Structure 1
Amino acid sequence: MPRSLQSVALLAAITLVLGGCASTGGMSPEPSPQAQTMPAEAQRSGKAQKLWQVFERYRGTPYEYGGTSAQGFDCSGFIVTAFREGLGQQLPRTTSQMLALGDVVHPGQIQPGDVVFFQIGGKEQHAGIYMGGDRFVHASTSSGVIQSSISGYYWQGRLTEARRFD
């Protein structure tokens, strides 16, 4: 096989592997230090405070496809770990399984602790935990476990739905 064809095949394989929980590298920059504080709305929610404590413990942990530990997380792996460690609650492992369960939350009624889903590449492939004040915590492919703005450059217009797991 010619070298250029090998490169295309390798790139295609990498794209398929990373597509399961995608957030495009370079498009979700690390938030500024002042944006790293817990949103006031989350401070009023016991559920969000517990999830924030887990976020603080794993902040900066690198992205790893299929990861569910301090060595690396994918987006759903971080959510599952946060709910298990923070709330003692077992959630489904993948974003598609999460989308099939939980209570649907209408856009105007999203609360801290709800799981938010984003459309990347034509389908819901990325998820995070809403913290209030336009902020959510998640495992980004480009920056690992971080806090981001739902209305930020990359995420604006990509939020598709939310689920509540009580």
Structure 2
Amino acid sequence: MKIYSIRACIASFILLLVFINGFALKPHTIYKNYPHKKRKQKTETSSRESHNSSDQSSEGEPGISNDSGIGDEGVASEDAPFTHVDDASAQTFRASEKIWRFANELIPFLQTPYKYGGEDTTGVDCSGLVKRVYARAFGIALPHKAALQFKLGKAVSKHALSPGDLVFFYDKRFRRIGHVGLYLDEGQFIHSMLREGVVISRLDERYWKKYYAGARRILPLNR
């Protein structure tokens, strides 16, 4: 069996971030150039363009939603900015291998467009991205619905997040789970946004802080 050293696995994860930057998905650059005027104009347009998805049910309790259907409309790119975790070397050998697998499956999705109900590199929504990465990297079948994914694994505090953890957000129109992303490192997460596709955002940005619902860990750190 080939042994992956901790440093090699960490290097693979760093390589993912390098690829992200190379594809012009660097969080800070995008955020600094984010046009407030255009965002406002797009918001007015989006209200006319929005379609009735199966995830648009009546208001419920936090974390509860209409679980029928597949896919998530998620968060529109004009509504929020799209733009590090504990010392990775302190993680176990197997945790480092987990990071390597995680990064390896994410790279093909860079610059993938948004597609409601999609779960491959031709188009993907937020829960579809999570579903596909976990299936390919770890052989774990997850539902294609953010609200259902929120019910799995164990709860993780924001200060204890690890690469690969699922981070969830409320739908801004209803008090229910409407969006999910995959935590990367140092407060950054990767996700698919309506009309913008796969991008990087930061948990400390105002929008994401306001609608943050919690995080779940599907894989134990020592897997």
TM-score tier (shorter): 0.7 to 0.9
Matching of residue 82 in structure 1 with residue 82 in structure 2: no
The equivalent residue for 1:5 is none
Q: Distance in 1 between matches of 2:176 and 2:217?
A: 20
Contact 2:187–2:203 (Cα < 8 Å) also in 1: yes
The equivalent residue for 1:21 is 73
Mind listing any 5+ residue stretches in structure 2 that lack a counterpart? 1-46, 57-71, 90-95
Contact 1:28–1:142 (Cα < 8 Å) also in 2: no
- For residue 127 of structure 1, the aligned residue among 172, 176, 180 is 180
Q: Distance in 2 between matches of 1:120 and 1:158?
A: 7
Q: Distance in 2 between matches of 1:160 and 1:73?
A: 22
Going by fraction, where is strand more abundant, 1 or 2?
A: 1
Cα distance per residue 1:65-119 (max 9 Å; x no partner):
1111111101000000011112222222211211122112233322111101011
Report SS of the residue matched to 1:155.
helix
Q: Distance in 2 between matches of 1:42 and 1:88?
A: 26
Report SS of the residue matched to 1:139.
strand
Contact 2:81–2:205 (Cα < 8 Å) also in 1: no
Partner letter of residue 14 of structure 1?
S
Partner letter of residue 156 of structure 1?
K
The number of residues matched between the two structures is 149
Contact 1:41–1:112 (Cα < 8 Å) also in 2: no
RMSD (CA atoms): 2.5
Partner letter of residue 112 of structure 2?
T
Q: Distance in 2 between matches of 1:15 and 1:42?
A: 43
Q: Distance in 2 between matches of 1:84 and 1:117?
A: 19
Contact 1:62–1:73 (Cα < 8 Å) also in 2: yes
**Greater RCO structure (CA 8 Å; 6+ sep):** 1
Cα distance per residue 1:24-76 (max 9 Å; x no partner):
23234453xxxxxxx68696543233222222111110001111111110100
- For residue 121 of structure 2, the aligned residue among 70, 78, 82 is 70
The equivalent residue for 2:3 is none
Matching of residue 144 in structure 1 with residue 212 in structure 2: no
The equivalent residue for 1:155 is 208
Q: Distance in 2 between matches of 1:14 and 1:30?
A: 20
With over 3 angstroms needed to count, the CA separation of the structure-2 counterparts of 1:61 and 1:156, relative to structure 1, is same
TM-score (norm 1): 0.77
Matching of residue 53 in structure 1 with residue 84 in structure 2: no
Deviates more, 1:141-150 or 1:127-136: 141-150
Higher alpha-carbon Rg: 2
Partner letter of residue 16 of structure 1?
N
Contact 1:23–1:126 (Cα < 8 Å) also in 2: yes
Matching of residue 113 in structure 1 with residue 113 in structure 2: no
